């Protein structure tokens, strides 16, 4: 779903929002890139098709306001069912996946133009 350039751009966006205590920015980015690569592999199949169908209106800008919020929540819920981060509860995973969905939409949208 995402190419290497998009993963790098998304990792930069997430790194600006996420702070992992005791780790430098470079190490945080490496961790984020590794996690995004794993997620990207999952998105290469049916999960990616399902996610794309949900977020396409967010990418093309046809969804606004309440519909956009509903679609984002639906995308986070879909990913949260498939992603399991050890020791982190489902609510925390969902909070982490929100910026990931935003980032996927942003980098995909920016590559359209």
State how far the Cα of 95 lies from the Cα of 99, in Å rounded to an integer.
8
- Cα distances from 49 to residues 1, 58, 84, 85, 90, in angstroms, run 9, 15, 20, 22, 23
Place of tokens 């509860």: 89
Contact (CB, 8 A) for 103 and 13: yes
**Domain extent listing, the chain:** 4-110
Give the confidence band of 76 by pLDDT, cuts at 50, 70, 90: very high
Each residue of 2-43: pLDDT tens digit? Answer: 789 888 988 888 888 777 677 788 888 888 888 888 888 888
Is residue 112 predicted with pLDDT exceeding 70? no
Give the confidence band of 55 by pLDDT, cuts at 50, 70, 90: very high
What confidence score (pLDDT) does residue 85 get? Answer: 62
- C-alpha closest to that of 54 among 76, 37, 38: 76
Token representation of residue 50: 């399902």
């Amino acid at each position: 779903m995402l190419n290497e350039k998009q993963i790098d751009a998304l990792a930069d966006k997430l790194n600006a929002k996420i702070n992992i205590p005791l780790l430098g920015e470079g190490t945080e980015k490496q961790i984020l890139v590794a996690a995004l690569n794993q997620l990207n592999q999952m998105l290469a199949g049916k999960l990616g098709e399902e996610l794309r169908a949900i977020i396409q209106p967010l990418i093309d800008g046809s969804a606004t306001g309440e519909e956009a919020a509903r679609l984002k929540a639906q995308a986070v819920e879909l990913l949260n069912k498939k992603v399991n981060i050890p020791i982190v509860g489902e609510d925390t995973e969902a909070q982490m996946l929100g910026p990931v969905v935003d980032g996927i939409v942003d980098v995909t949208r920016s590559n359209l133009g």
